[in-house]
Amino acid sequence: MSMSKKVVLAYSGGLDTTVILHWLKENYDYEVIAVCVDVGQGKELDGMEEKALKNGASKLYIEDAKEEFMKDYVFPMLKAGAVYESKYYLGTSIARPLIAKKFVEIALKEGAEAICHGCTGKGNDQVRFELAIKALAPQLKIIAPWRIWDIKSREDEIEYLEKRGLEVPMTREESYSRDRNMWHLSHEGLDLEDPSKEPNYIKLLKLGVSPEQAPDEPTYIELEFEKGIPVKLNGETLSPVDLMFKLNEIGGKNGIGLSDILENRVVGMKSRGVYETPGGVILYAAHEELEHMCLDHQTYAYKQQVALKYAELIYSGEWFTPLREALAAFVDATQETVTGKVRLKLYKGNIIPAGTTSPYSLYNESIASFTTGDLYSHKDAEGFINLYGLPSKVRAMMKQRNQ
């Protein structure tokens, strides 16, 4: 098959991209090259090549980016402690810049003139993908069908395929919008669009169970970090990918990492989603315990502010920006001493600290103990309090004079 123009399609094999593949063939004179970036979708990739070629793609690239995803995207986010609006561990958001980077690499390799994605005009991902593409290859055109075509809903998409006698890759009853990678699984749509309703976790969850269904006995684990990066689980050295999969299994069984959140989207509206991040939430909890031990007061306090901005940049698709890179450099500097072991107790959705050790611990028992040690004199506190409280004392004296 030889055509003068090519388009790279961000392909998942799901409903959206199945419809888009046919729509591209009907409306553009393009050779369609399907690309799927493997960031841990698992069985979702089974049979994808056959499906893509059957639906009109000239070829399919499946790019294994799991290791790169963990090392170059997840771990920097983890070290920053970035959480969006206190509940969202950025599972979909953090994968988007890497996926877009792979799209660009293949588009340039194939000599394509455009990249097509299946993000809706209401969603965050259109912003994330397109900002990344513009930062990496501004000459590439972007085709966003949801902003062009007359299709308005998932039901319309199903009808589009049925009218053409094409296979529909999902049922109407199970048409949740889901995004899966090795860090998390998100669920949106259907009954979740009513925030007054409690999610049906038994029906919904895929990575684990609800806290009520978790074992009645706690599970203890030990994580070891080097410069803010997890390297061992229960004394075993593991690759980032293997570590993540094992933590997801352990966390899922114990009902860890469920978030039901109404979040503020980049485009201005609120949306409701349920997120499963079992291994990720465990890593965040362990990393934070170690930082409490190894970071001084001022560094930890300022890093909390950086974490908020870092999360905002990830959520908004601003990964490939000077500010994000500068904040990452700051975070890396803070992690030089974040090395040690953290023991956690997992019990019915809860993560309970069970002991932390580090060669860089700033905790000094001789100073902190209620028993007076050689390094601290109680008498020193009086002068400190007098100086520290001087502004308050002066202000109080002024108010008394003017009463």
> CB 203: neighbour CB atoms within 10 A?
9
Report, as residue numbers or ranges, the catalytic residues.
16, 96, 125, 177
Separation between Cα atoms, residue 184 and residue 203, nearest integer Å: 17
Enter the tokens of residue 392: 């308050």
**Binding-site sequence positions for L-aspartate:** 120, 124-125
**Binding-site sequence positions:** 10-18, 88, 93, 118, 120, 124-125, 128, 177, 186, 263, 275
Enter the tokens of residue 6: 């090519």
> CB 119: neighbour CB atoms within 10 A?
20
- What are the strands of the beta sheet with 114-116, ordered from one edge? 59-64, 31-38, 6-10, 114-116, 141-143
Radius of gyration of the chain (CA): 25
Separation between Cα atoms, residue 231 and residue 401, nearest integer Å: 63
**Binding-site sequence positions for ATP:** 10-18, 118
User: Which long-range contacts (C-beta less than 8 Å, at least 24 apart) are formed by 209-217?
Assistant: 209/252, 209/253, 209/255, 210/255, 210/258, 210/349, 211/255, 211/258, 211/348, 211/349, 211/350, 212/255, 212/348, 213/255, 214/253, 214/254, 214/255, 214/347, 214/348, 214/349, 215/253, 215/254, 215/348
Q: Are 240 and 67 within 8 A, CB to CB?
A: yes
Consecutive H or E run containing 133: helix 125-136
Question: If you search the block for the tokens 């899922």, which residue do you land on?
Answer: 252
Enter the tokens of residue 174: 């199970």
**Binding-site sequence positions for L-citrulline:** 88, 93, 124, 128, 177, 186, 263, 275
> CB 45: neighbour CB atoms within 10 A?
15
